[in-house]
Amino acid sequence: MSVLVATLSLGLGGCATATLTSGTNLAKAGEAAAQQMQQNATISADSMTALRRAVAFNTGYNKGAGADDAKAFLDNMTSIQGRLSQYSKLLASLSASYSALGDLSAYDASGTFNSSMQTLVGDSTKFAAAVGSPITVPANVTQGLSTVGSLAIGAIQAQRVKDGSAKIEHVLKQIIGALDQPATRDKLVPVPGKISDQVDQAAIVLLKEGVYSYGPILDQLGAPMGLKSTSGSDAAIAKDDNARAGLLAVAGEMAAEQSAQLAASYDKSLAALKALVPMHDSLEKGAPVDLSQIASVTGQLQTIAASLQTTTSTSPAKGK
């Protein structure tokens, strides 16, 4: 009997080890992806503040003309900003749940995982309600994993990791279902043309008035050839109407590109969430998880975040 038990233990131990390894890999990738998605959502929300300031400037510059339209636009931006903040909170909870899954894979931290799942379900439900796409999470998902303390054998721990993965996956699919709705996208992503128009108008007016320097635009334009602006660049441009018109056109294009990145951030975040689903499926089947797709999408999100961060800063004042 003891030989049989030992043999079974070795077999179960091997399967358990593979599952716990996959659990650790999924947890690390999921946590990193959720953190990056949260950063992108936060930067997107912050960019709404810069946009609101541009609208306020344009309204003042135009001496109140179109104030009613501006108010409606600002109200919409405020709503989008609030939903993005809620989305960011949800992603923070998702990251914490993956971190807890990692702990579960490492040392059977069932209590930590149970707590993180309750927070994730709560934040997911609030977010879905905020975007008009309510979700219902079954009781078996919110019911915590049982605990047996430090005496848990590897096979039991591995099963708990699979169960934990299934719980996260269920909520993950609910989140994806809500975000995949065009109506939800409209509530989180401003219309690109309207954003670029507002930012473009404010920036171009101030550039024409000499308040801002053309230096940053010149530097980006010359970057592929290693060219940079000089202290005399603005004075030279002020004397050349054609050069000034060309750079103002470039400024408009830059505003449009930044606006498009807000939409790209949303779409790539949704792609990242979708990339996590087959990883959960693999873990729950006892197969290794493929990290390539989620790593690729996370890298793309990092690139978008770096681009979006420039929308939250202003162009240097002339002479700075």
The verdict on residue 293 lying in a domain is yes
Using alpha carbons, select from 74, 190, 82, 93 the residue that is nearest to residue 130. Answer: 82
Q: Is the pLDDT of residue 112 over 80?
A: no
Number of folded domains in the chain?
Answer: 1
The whole-number pLDDT of residue 243 equals 86
Using alpha carbons, select from 100, 81, 88 the residue that is nearest to residue 127. Answer: 88
Measured CA to CA in angstroms, residue 230 lies from 210, 212, 219, 317 at distances of 16, 15, 9, 14
The whole-number pLDDT of residue 145 equals 66
Q: Is the pLDDT of residue 315 over 50?
A: no
Q: Is the pLDDT of residue 196 over 80?
A: no
Q: Is the pLDDT of residue 147 over 80?
A: no
The verdict on residue 148 lying in a domain is yes
The verdict on residue 180 lying in a domain is yes
Using alpha carbons, select from 156, 109, 116 the residue that is nearest to residue 31. Answer: 116
Q: How far apart are CA 56 and CA 222, in angstroms?
A: 32
Q: What mean pLDDT is predicted for residues 261-285?
A: 95
In the chain, the percentage of residues whose pLDDT exceeds 90 is 41
Q: Say how many C-beta atoms besides its own lie within 10 A of residue 312's C-beta.
A: 15
The verdict on residue 92 lying in a domain is yes
The whole-number pLDDT of residue 200 equals 63
CA-angle at 124, arms to 120 and 126, nearest 5°: 120
**17 or 38: which leads in pLDDT:** 38
Q: How confident is the model at residue 48 (pLDDT cuts 50, 70, 90)?
A: confident
The verdict on residue 34 lying in a domain is yes
The whole-number pLDDT of residue 33 equals 98
The verdict on residue 265 lying in a domain is yes
**192 or 308: which leads in pLDDT:** 308
Of the given ranges (125-134, 143-152, 205-214), which has the lowest mean pLDDT?
Answer: 143-152
The verdict on residue 9 lying in a domain is no
Q: Is the pLDDT of residue 3 over 50?
A: no
Q: Is the pLDDT of residue 4 over 60?
A: no
CA-angle at 147, arms to 93 and 4, nearest 5°: 125
Domain range enclosing 73: 15-312
Provide the whole-model pTM. 0.79
The verdict on residue 254 lying in a domain is yes
Q: What mean pLDDT is predicted for residues 148-173?
A: 80
